């Protein structure tokens, strides 16, 4: 058996590593020693200590010691720094001998603060195990809880972690944003593995799902990403849901593509919102190379949730498909699939359609297919996928949508000019940024001509239910609304044949309390969208646009508006006062020439707070993430 003296070379090597680390950090103007908890919490208001018991903790989470005096004995990564002939070095070497010959079994004592661990007893054991690249150690844990401070993001996030821990007793999952804990809990609501007791399901999840994911994620290079393993798992769960046990072979196959997505997940640094179609034609250094690989022809698939007879939304997209069929006659071939389920089974249907049809490009024309589309895009990287929604795109899947708030503003002007009661009804699907911006623009338009106008908003909870939408409109009429903006009114086809209109502004008959005239509607010209994107694919300019280097791609969101004719306004001129028609046409032209913006400040929210300052404009990102209502909006339950 080796003597303690013969283990001294381990100490010498560990100290040399510590010295190098110390010097490197000092050269950067940073502290080269451990953090100490008593220094960190000296000025923090602590509300309590909680004993958690003894558990195995990851050594990567052990970042410091409790006492300030002890921090000087170690480098930042717990390498020893004491003199070789000191009592400290002898004790460290003895711990090293015990680890090599017997193994370290006794738990250390630590304090947990903001989900990191600081050693109260056992600093040398931690130091030795970190030197030998151990991954975990048993520890008796005492949690230190700071006072809640809504202005401190770290503490807000920590309290979200505590709430998550209270429900799951999982101490191993850390997410970088407080709202992500609630999302993960929502995913876990359906996690009930067969044969596992309810009180054991979270332990089962940790052992058979999260920890295998963590291992494979790190083996694939996940540590190089600026995110926690929990953040990475959340995206995986969003796309693939949580099964009883993770399929490791499937995950290994997915991880290379998933890591590309994770590089941009949770940050807007690489996201680009393109508001000008000319962006497709702008070149970069890879332009000449990309053009060489531009396809001579394309097979383009369109995915519809409903058919053209029952859905104005589907009808408008199919008008766009027919437009590009005619425009690119001989260069493209198009195909459709309709009646695609609006649930989890959409993934299999879309994937089968894409593979069997051997398509080069797939457009999924509804936000309900967003998750299914990105799954297909990750698994079928040779096909370009586009999803029609205003949400965040992915590297493998671009988004395309219109600036719907622009025509909504104009319909609001008409509603404000024609209301007699000053009360306007507005039915919407569910609260999301596109709905918020549309309602706000509509209300601002109404208030431009009628400052006292009030907009009553009711949600249907569904994106395409004409009967429910009509019933809600009747409730709004009973509340005094004499103008209604309704997403799914059942309208005669002769009104909508040219446009595929799916939302109408109506006045209400004073006697029957029913819609009397169809006054106006936002309309879509999807053919313009499809023409510009397909043209860019055929001539190679789209490929040039997305390729920022040989290994990365831009994350693209196409967001075009009235200036390009992608969205526009249908008006029944003969039913609207001529002065109002002139005003609306003038405002529309000012939008086209970029002389007017519906959200030009000052804009006040429902609480009377100024959210957009005078003469200021919100950025595209701010509009696409809008989560507040302007003054004059009232939500009707």
Find the CATH number of the domain harbouring 132: 3.90.1530.10
Q: Which of 226, 250, 267 corresponds to the end of one domain?
A: 267
CATH code assigned at 328: 3.40.50.2300
Nearest to 550 by CA among 286, 254, 248: 286
Q: E strand or H helix at 250, and its extent?
A: helix 248-264
Q: How many structural domains is the chain composed of? A: 4
Q: Are 418 and 509 in the same domain?
A: yes
Q: Which of 120, 147, 174 corresponds to the end of one domain?
A: 147
Query: Quick count: other Cβ atoms within 10 Å of Cβ 336?
Result: 19
Residue 602: is the preceding peptide bond cis (ω within 30°)? yes
- pLDDT score at 164: 95
Q: Are 487 and 601 in the same domain?
A: yes
- pLDDT score at 547: 65
Q: Are 471 and 597 in the same domain?
A: yes
Q: Which of 267, 282, 316 corresponds to the end of one domain?
A: 267
Would you list the DSSP string of 262-276? HHHTT--TTEEEE--
Mean pLDDT in residue range 265-274: 54
- pLDDT > 70 in the chain, percent: 89
pLDDT-based confidence at 288, cuts 50/70/90? Answer: very low
Q: Model confidence over 204-261: pLDDT tens digits? A: 999 999 999 999 999 998 888 888 999 999 989 988 889 999 999 989 988 988 888 8
Task: Say if residues 540 and 290 touch (Cβ distance below 8 Å).
Answer: yes
Q: Residue 201: which domain range?
A: 152-267
The 3-state secondary structure of 13-77 reads HHHHHHHHHHHHHHHCCCCCECEEHHHHCCCCCEEEEEEEEEEEEEHHHEEEECCHHHHCCEECC
Q: Are 603 and 473 in the same domain?
A: yes
Taking the C-alpha atoms of residue 74 and residue 475, their distance in angstroms, rounded to an integer, is 70
- pLDDT score at 311: 81
Q: E strand or H helix at 402, and its extent?
A: strand 397-402
**Who has greater pLDDT, 508 or 574?**
574
Q: Are 120 and 170 in the same domain?
A: no
Q: Are 126 and 63 in the same domain?
A: yes
Query: What value does the mean pLDDT of the chain take?
Result: 88
Torsion of CA 180, 164, 145, 37, to 10 degrees: -60
Q: Are 560 and 482 in the same domain?
A: no
Q: Are 226 and 339 in the same domain?
A: no
User: Tell me, what DSSP letter sits at residue 508?
Assistant: E
Mean pLDDT in residue range 82-97: 92
Q: Are 185 and 115 in the same domain?
A: no
Q: Are 398 and 485 in the same domain?
A: no
Q: Are 518 and 549 in the same domain?
A: no
Q: Are 164 and 199 in the same domain?
A: yes
């Amino acid at each position: 058996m080796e003597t303690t003296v013969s283990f001294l070379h381990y100490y010498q090597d560990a100290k040399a590593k510590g010295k190098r680390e110390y010097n490197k950090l000092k050269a950067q103007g940073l502290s080269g020693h451990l953090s100490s908890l008593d220094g960190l919490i000296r000025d923090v208001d602590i509300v309590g200590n909680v004993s958690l018991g003894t558990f195995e903790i990851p050594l990567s989470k052990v970042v410091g010691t409790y006492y300030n005096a002890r921090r000087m004995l170690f480098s930042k990564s717990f390498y020893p720094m004491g003199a070789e002939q000191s009592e400290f070095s002898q004790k460290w070497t003895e711990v090293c001998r015990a680890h090599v010959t017997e193994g370290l079994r006794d738990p250390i004592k630590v304090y947990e603060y903001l989900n990191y661990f600081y050693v109260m007893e056992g600093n040398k054991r931690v130091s030795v195990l970190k030197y030998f690249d151990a991954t975990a150690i048993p520890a008796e844990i005492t949690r230190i809880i700071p006072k809640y401070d809504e202005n401190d993001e770290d503490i807000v996030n920590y309290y979200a972690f505590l709430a998550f821990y209270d429900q799951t007793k999982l101490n191993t999952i850390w997410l970088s944003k407080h709202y992500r804990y609630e999302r993960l809990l929502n995913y876990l609501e359906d996690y009930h593995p067969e044969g596992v007791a309810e009180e054991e399901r979270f332990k089962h999840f940790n052992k058979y799902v999260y920890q295998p994911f963590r291992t494979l994620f790190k083996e694939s290079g996940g540590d190089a990403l600026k995110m926690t393993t929990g953040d990475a798992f959340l995206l995986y769960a969003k796309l693939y849901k949580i099964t009883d046990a993770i399929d490791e072979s499937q995950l290994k196959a997915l991880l290379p593509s998933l890591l590309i997505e994770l590089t941009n997940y949770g940050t807007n640094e690489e996201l680009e919102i393109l508001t000008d179609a000319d962006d497709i034609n702008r070149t970069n250094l890879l332009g000449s190379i990309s053009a060489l690989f531009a396809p001579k022809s394309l097979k383009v698939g369109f995915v519809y949730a409903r058919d053209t007879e029952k859905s104005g939304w589907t009808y408008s997209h199919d008008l766009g498909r027919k437009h590009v069929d005619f425009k690119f006659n001989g260069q493209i071939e198009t195909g459709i699939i309709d009646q695609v389920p609006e649930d989890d089974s959409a993934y299999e249907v879309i994937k089968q359609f894409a593979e069997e049809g051997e398509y080069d490009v797939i457009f999924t024309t509804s936000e309900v297919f967003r998750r299914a589309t990105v799954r297909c895009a990750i698994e079928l990287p040779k096909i370009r996928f586009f999803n029609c929604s205003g949400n965040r795109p992915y590297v493998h899947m671009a988004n395309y949508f219109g600036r719907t708030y622009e025509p909504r503003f104009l319909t609001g002007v008409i509603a404000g000019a024609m209301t007699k009661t000053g009360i306007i009804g507005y039915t919407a699907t569910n609260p999301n940024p596109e709905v918020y911006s549309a309602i706000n623009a509509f209300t601002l338009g109404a208030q431009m001509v009628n400052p006292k106008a009030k907009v009553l908003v009711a949600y249907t909870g569904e994106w395409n239910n004409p009967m429910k939408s009509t019933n809600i409109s009747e409730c709004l009429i009973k509340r005094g609304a004499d103008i209604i903006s309704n997403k799914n009114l059942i309208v005669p086809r002769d009104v909508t044949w040219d446009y595929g209109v799916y939302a109408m502004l109506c006045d209400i008959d004073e006697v029957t309390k029913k819609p009397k005239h169809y006054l106006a509607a936002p309309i879509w010209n999807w053919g313009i969208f499809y023409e510009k994107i397909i043209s860019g694919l055929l001539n190679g300019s789209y490929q040039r646009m997305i390729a920022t280097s040989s290994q990365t791609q831009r994350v693209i969101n196409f967001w075009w508006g009235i200036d390009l004719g992608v969205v526009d306004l249908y008006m029944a001129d003969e039913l609207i006062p001529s002065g109002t028609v002139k005003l609306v046409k003038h405002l529309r032209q000012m939008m086209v020439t970029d002389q007017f913006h519906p959200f030009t400040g000052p804009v006040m929210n429902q609480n009377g707070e100024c959210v957009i300052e005078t003469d200021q404009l919100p950025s595209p990102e701010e509009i696409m993430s809008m989560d507040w209502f302007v003054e004059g909006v009232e939500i009707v339950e």
